Amino acid sequence: MSFARFIIKRSLQGIFVVWGVVTVVFLLRFSTPGDPITFIAPLDASPELRQRIAEELGLNQPLYVQYFDYLTGLLTGDMGYSYISGTEAATRIFARVPATVELAVAATVVAIVISIPLGVISATRRHEPADYAATTFSLAGISTPNFWLGIMLVLVFAVQLNFLPTSRRPVGIVQAVEVLVLSGNYAGIVLWLQHITLPAITLGTYFTALVTRLTRSGMLDELGKSYVDAARAKGLPETLVRYKHALRNTLIPVITVLGLQLGTLIGGAVITEAVFAWPGLGTLVINSINTRDWPLIQGCLIVIGSSFVFVNIAVDALYAYVNPQVVYD
């Protein structure tokens, strides 16, 4: 099967899974105890007021009507209106996406930049202090709850040392870069860096640790294989032996695991955002759940679920790209 057909097939499967996600979320909503009206109406609202609100939101329609309305709306990018604020859910949700993407990408970059060299060093200096340090770090890293890590970082760097801000995202990277390009003013970039540092470390630590572990054990495996000896025997410099030959094969399974761990990344982002008041999807989803703002909950879960599915397809494609042995099936 050709690569293109493979991607098309995976995408179709992905769409099916997204449809499943939409349906599950929809069913979740209607199997949930507690009428959404009680969360929308004021504490002492009268039954008439509740009834009127229900009519206004279309909540008195039969379930299947609401479901098909929702599905057709979704195809046009319409996720309905927030119960609480009356604004478009899709607008609200997509306004939050950049913050989360920014955080996730920053964390991933931190993780990759640190973990892969660390894993390689750890594997090539086995039983040396560098290896023990890396192993200890990665063990602690995968065992530390990231919200606690975030709090401790705030305690040390913000509360005690007063060195970095505790929270918030006063400016996005896009705006900061825009200002830099248009006015040459880099205060925005500095500000952005100051605010994203602690959240990115908080979210990135687990992945740094995980990828370090995977890289280390993968490298140990690969370095023990005879193609590495063969590469050395033909006189290839050690850097090429490690980074071109061994690392390449190490990263193939690492990529797969990372794809599967994307959910963890998003879950981690949710709690990291909560710790740092980062205005991303995570804080939106938690707030929406607390207020039973169903259009927002649904929208967020669908956006998160779809991105998971499609990022995994991208990971599969990348996997196929780096691994010539893959058979498209």
Partner 1 sequence: MDEILRVRDLKTRFFTEEGQVNAVESVSFDVRDGEIFGIVGESGSGKSVTALSVIDLIESPGRVTGGEVWYRNADLADEFREKRSEAVDGDFVDLRRLPKGVRRSLRGPSFSMVFQDPMSSLNPSITVGEQIAEAVEVQRRARANPRSTRSRTQGYGLGKYLVDSIVPGREYTSTESKERAIELLEQVGIPDPEARAEEYPHQFSGGMLQRAMIAQALAGEPDILVADEPTTALDVTIQAQILNLLRDLQREQDMSIIMITHDLGVIARMCDRVGVMYAGQIVERGTLGDIFENPVHPYTEGLLGSIPDLEDPSPRLSPIEGNVPSLLDSEMGGRCYFADRCPNAMEACLNSIPEYDTDSGEVVGDGANAEAVHTARCVLATREFDAAEALGDDYFGDRAEASDPETPDDAAEQEVVSDA
Partner 2 sequence: MTDDRQSRVSRRRYLQLAGGAAATAALAGCSNDSGELNTETPAEGANDSAGGGGGGNDTDSSDDQNNQESGEFAVTITQGQMDSGLDPHDHRETTTDIIVMQMYEGALDRDREGQVIEGLAENYEQAEPNRVRLTIREGVTFHNGDELTPQDVAFSINRIVNPDVGNLASPQSDQLAGITEAQVVDGERAVDVISDGVNPMAIGLLASYGDVMQQSWVESNDNSYINSNANGTGPFQLSNYVQDERVEYTKYEEYWREPAAVDALTITSASESSTRVNQLVSGETDIIVNVPPQEVSRINSNESTRVEAVPSTRIIYNGMRYDVEPFSNLQFRRAMNYAVDINTIVSEVLSDFADATGQPTLEGFTGYNPNIDPYPYDVEQAEQLVEESGFAGATIELHTPVGRYLKDLEIAQAVVGYINELSNVEASVNQRDFGALAGELTTGNIEDMPHWYLIGWGNETFDASQTLIPLLTTDGALSSWSNDQFDQLVSQAGQTANADERESLFQEANQLAHDQAPWIFLNRQYSVYGASSRIEWQARRDESIKAYEIMQP
Partner 3 sequence: MVSPRTWRNLRRELRGSALAKIGIVLVLAIILVAVFAPFLAPYDPYQQDLGNSQVPPLGFSTTENETRSEMVNGSIEVVEEEVTVNATLAHPLGTDALGRDMLSRTIYGARTSLLVGVFGTMLAVLIGVTVGLTAGYYGGRVDDGLMRMSDIMLAFPSLVLAIALIGLFGGVTIRIPDPFVVLGLAPEMPPNIVLPGTVVLVVALVNWVWFARVARGEALSLRNEEYVKAARALGASDGSIVARHILPNSITPILVLATIQVAAIILLESSLSYLGFSGANLSWGLDIAQGRDYLASAWWIASIPGVAIVFAVIGVNLVGDWLRDALDPGIEGEGGV
Least Å distance between CB 176 and partner 3? Answer: 28
**Is the Cβ of residue 43 or residue 327 nearer to partner 2 in the bound state?**
43
- Judged by CB under 8 A, the chain residues 99 through 138 that form the site for partner 3 are none
Q: Which stretch binds partner 1 (CB under 8 A): 96-104, 189-197, 240-248, 305-313?
A: 240-248
Q: Which stretch binds partner 1 (CB under 8 A): 172-180, 261-269, 301-309, 318-326?
A: 318-326
Tell which residue, 30, 50, 21, 96, has the closest CA to residue 294.
Answer: 30
Cα 4 to Cα 1, 7, 9, distances in angstroms: 8, 5, 9
Residue 297 interacting with partner 3 (CB under 8 A): yes
Cα 169 to Cα 35, 160, 186, 268, 271, distances in angstroms: 34, 21, 16, 17, 15
Give the Cα separation of 233 and 35 in Å (integer): 72
Residue 260 interacting with partner 3 (CB under 8 A): yes
Q: Which of 266, 284, 296, 313 binds partner 3 (CB under 8 A)?
A: 266
222 near 231, Cβ under 8 Å?
Answer: no
107 near 203, Cβ under 8 Å?
Answer: yes
228 token code pair: 């590495």
- Judged by CB under 8 A, the chain residues 48 through 87 that form the site for partner 3 are none
Q: Which stretch binds partner 1 (CB under 8 A): 25-33, 144-152, 218-226, 282-290?
A: 218-226
Residue 148 interacting with partner 3 (CB under 8 A): yes
Question: What contacts 176, CB < 8 A, 6 or more positions away?
Answer: 188, 189, 191, 192
Least Å distance between CB 152 and partner 2? Answer: 14
Q: Which stretch binds partner 3 (CB under 8 A): 149-157, 167-175, 182-190, 242-250?
A: 149-157
**Is the Cβ of residue 196 or residue 265 nearer to partner 3 in the bound state?**
265
Tell which residue, 231, 243, 215, 263, has the closest CA to residue 17.
Answer: 263
Residue 168 interacting with partner 2 (CB under 8 A): yes
**Is the Cβ of residue 90 or residue 209 nearer to partner 2 in the bound state?**
90
Give the Cα separation of 243 and 189 in Å (integer): 33
Binding site for partner 1 (CB under 8 A): 126-127, 223, 225-227, 229-240, 243-245, 248-249, 252, 322-325
